[in-house]
Copies of this chain bind each other. A is one copy, B any other.
Amino acid sequence: PLIAVLPGDGIGPEVTREARRVLEALALGLDFEEAPVGGAAYLLTGRPLPEETLALAKKADAVLFGAIGDPRFEALERRLRPEAALLGIRRELGLFANLRPATLFPALADASPLKPEVVAGLDLVIVRELVGDVYFGEKGRRHDAEGLRQGFDIMSYNEAEVERIARVGFEMAKRRKKKLCSVDKANVLETSQLWRDVVNEMATEYPDVHLTHMYVDNAAMQLVRAPAAFDVIVTGNLFGDILSDQASMCAGSIGMLPSASLCAWSGDNGMYEPIHGSAPDIAGQGKANPCGAILSAAMLLRHSLGNEEAALKVERAVGEALAKGARTADLGGSMSTAEMGDAVLKELV
């Protein structure tokens, strides 16, 4: 199988390197091909998502993605900014289902800002819709009736878009603790009301799954109050963006958390990336935590290559390394990115 490696900006290259080393160490006969993306690609080619990079991502069996984002390019028009590359790949590959697990490695119970008893047993997955919502609706700048500058963005979902992501949520819950919490803002938004209606209509197909609905403001609160009470959360693109970053802190550090972006429940041709960003402030210093990237590689093994055994092996190796005290700066330690990678590799037996 061919793995496209898109390291991207900031700490992306550093953490992706460690994830790739882990995949290579498993000796599964994978081929790797690298291509530039984001600000890095813009500097080389004048575009954040060159044709060749997109073609490689499409051709590959899976994409290992680093991070994008670079404050130097914030003033560019939107289609030239690093973010356009990420949004472009998601849409072009039809990666509508973003899985963001937040689990607590026991060794990190103390690293969370939340009390140990609050995060004990934390094991949730946020299923975030990734190619719709206010992210991809018509948007622009204009002058309104009074001649004032106005910005607008259209939020919308249709029933098919809601159904396919809700199905991922239901299927996921069925295989886990059978609790699905759908998050919306149906008391204010019509988009959310449709979302809620469709999810409710599907509930009869999943009699064994306990479905609840929660307003997004309440969900943000409950994720602080009692995050361990959640099993699977399914939500739209914008709410999922916010809640998954929030949930990541419960797990100790955003540097720990992986994600998978899939175009089908089965997961072929998925993209895998740590949920942290490019962190320009620490880029190039070898300080970044590679665990989010390494655990993303584990998700790649599981979802795109169907190799559950190898996935578990990687996850266990990360747990072992942490248990033996391996810590990067974000976890209160002093290991470099490469040393953390070494610590994981050593446990990979």
Contact = CB atoms under 8 A, between A and B. Distances in A.
Counted per complex, copies of this chain come to 2
Contact of A220 (B153, B218, B246): B246
Interface in A23-75: 69, 74
Contacts of A113: 114-115, 118, 224-226
A140 interface: yes
Contact of A190 (B115, B141, B225, B250): B141
A329 interface: no
Interface string A152-189: 11111111100000000000000000000000011111
A200 B267 CA distance: 43
Contact of A217 (B153, B226, B242): B242
B158 A150 contact: yes
Interface string A182-202: 000111111111110010000
Interface size class of A (residues with CB under 8 A): 35 or more
A221 B194 contact: no
B151 A134 contact: no
A259 to B, nearest CB: 13
10 contacts: A113-B114, A113-B225, A144-B158, A150-B156, A151-B156, A153-B190, A185-B241, A221-B254, A224-B224, A224-B250
Contacts of A249: 221, 224-225
From A189, A194, A242, name the one whose CB has the most chain B CB atoms within 10 angstroms. Answer: A242
